[in-house]
Amino acid sequence: MNKTKDSRQPATGNSKGILFIVSAPSGAGKTTLCRMAVDYFSDLRHSISYTTRPSREGEKNSIDYHFVSQQFFQKMLNNAEFLEWAEVHGNRYGTSRNDINALLEKGLDIILDIDVQGARQVKQRLLANSEQPAVFIFILPPSLKVCEERIKTRGKDSPEVIAGRLENARTEIRESIKYDFIIINDNLEDAFERLKSIILAERSRRERMMGEVKRIYSEVLDL
């Protein structure tokens, strides 16, 4: 897929980038869709989380995750370095506040692939600080049966981990009603079209476009 700069609706049209929060139960295709979005939009970055989970085959440090020790994670936690963090399937995951702020300040949009507990924390923090709201997107598999089959056939984790993921999936699906957008991933291409549409629509919001509009139409707009 060609990397595309959405030049007509630039992420930098407004001063600060947009935070897209994407959650889903395991096996919904979330990681694939997030990767496709980052490949497609050159001004969209994936936030690299810190985790205490051991790396899986093929995963690279500081690309897929920052793989860190329990002690390292705890130190970051004590220093209030996380925008959000959560324990998922027995491992800890967190998003660095500094990493996110640095990207947003550059006007880049960010996609945060985080679980429902983390998404809830981000929502509360942004509301409490009256910060620019984030966009919350939930990806659902086409049915519970498909969701469970996908989790079972992923084959990278132990039976206990798989059992935990199945139980968690049901809890997470219940949280989908709290998100702004829902994508049912029945077909990857269709699901990606929807994700792209959400990103473009958010970038086109009047309040985010005003900087660009003022620049182009300063002669006619008395602002």
Q: Which residues bind ligand 5GP (CB under 6 A)?
A: 49, 53, 84, 86, 88, 93-95, 113-115, 117-118
Instruction: For 139, list phi and psi in degrees, rounded to 5.
Output: -105, 125
Give the nearer residue to ligand 5GP in terms of CB position, either 30 or 208. Answer: 30
Give the nearer residue to ligand 5GP in terms of CB position, either 81 or 212. Answer: 81
Give the nearer residue to ligand 5GP in terms of CB position, either 14 or 121. Answer: 121
Give the nearer residue to ligand 5GP in terms of CB position, either 174 or 215. Answer: 174
Residue nearest to ligand 5GP (CB): 118
Residues whose CB falls within 8 Å of the CB of residue 18, separated by 6 or more in sequence, listed in order: 11, 109, 110, 132, 134, 135, 202, 203, 208
Please state the closest distance from residue 166 (CB atom) to ligand 5GP, in A.
14
Give the nearer residue to ligand 5GP in terms of CB position, either 46 or 208. Answer: 46
Are 137 and 183 in contact, with CB atoms under 8 Å apart? yes
Please state the closest distance from residue 151 (CB atom) to ligand 5GP, in A.
10
Please state the closest distance from residue 190 (CB atom) to ligand 5GP, in A.
22
H or E segment at 21? strand 19-23
Are 108 and 43 in contact, with CB atoms under 8 Å apart? yes
Give the nearer residue to ligand 5GP in terms of CB position, either 114 or 135. Answer: 114
Please state the closest distance from residue 138 (CB atom) to ligand 5GP, in A.
11
Residues whose CB falls within 8 Å of the CB of residue 140, separated by 6 or more in sequence, listed in order: 24, 25, 28, 147, 173, 176, 182, 183, 184, 185
**Both structure tokens of 16:** 């600060």
Supply the Cα-derived Rg of the chain in whole angstroms. Answer: 18
Please state the closest distance from residue 84 (CB atom) to ligand 5GP, in A.
6
Please state the closest distance from residue 202 (CB atom) to ligand 5GP, in A.
20
Residues whose CB falls within 8 Å of the CB of residue 95, separated by 6 or more in sequence, listed in order: 47, 49, 50, 82, 83, 84, 85, 112, 114, 118
